[in-house]
Amino acid sequence: MSRVTTTDLHFHLLEGESLLDGLERTGHDVEYQCRSGYCGVCRLTLLEGKVSYDEPPLAYVGQSEILPCCCKVIEPIHVECRVSGQAELPLELEQREFDF
C-alpha cells in the first residue's frame, strides 16, 4: 500500500486504487475531467516521492507535477492538495492520520 501525504493528512492507497480515487475517498478537493491522462485538469504538485506512468500521458506534465488520475505511486509521496472545505490552519493543528 502506497502512503500518501497531502497538505492536510496522510492515508494509504487501497489495492488497485488510483491516486485520484484515493484523494476523492479521503475528501480532497481535486478536479478532473477525463480521468485518463488527456486533459491535465487533475494536475497536482509533487513535493516529495516518485510516481510512474504505464503510458506517457498526453496532457502536459511539468517538472514536479503529476496527474493523479493515471500515475502509479511507486514510493511514499507528498502532494499539494487540500481536503475540501479545510481552512488555512497551521499544518500541525489539522494534520490527521487515516489508515483505511
Q: Does 73 bind ligand FES (CB under 6 A)?
A: no
Please list every residue from 18 through 37 that binds ligand FES, using CB under 6 A.
32-35, 37
CA angle (24 as vertex; 60, 48 as ends), nearest 5: 55
User: Which residue among 27, 40, 49, 76 contacts ligand FES (CB under 6 A)?
Assistant: 40
Q: By CB under 6 A, tell whether 45 contacts ligand FES.
A: no
Number of C-beta neighbours around residue 33 at 10 A: 12
Rounded distance between C-alpha atoms, residue 47 and residue 49, angstroms: 7
* Binding region for ligand FES (CB under 6 A): 32-35, 37-42, 59, 67, 69
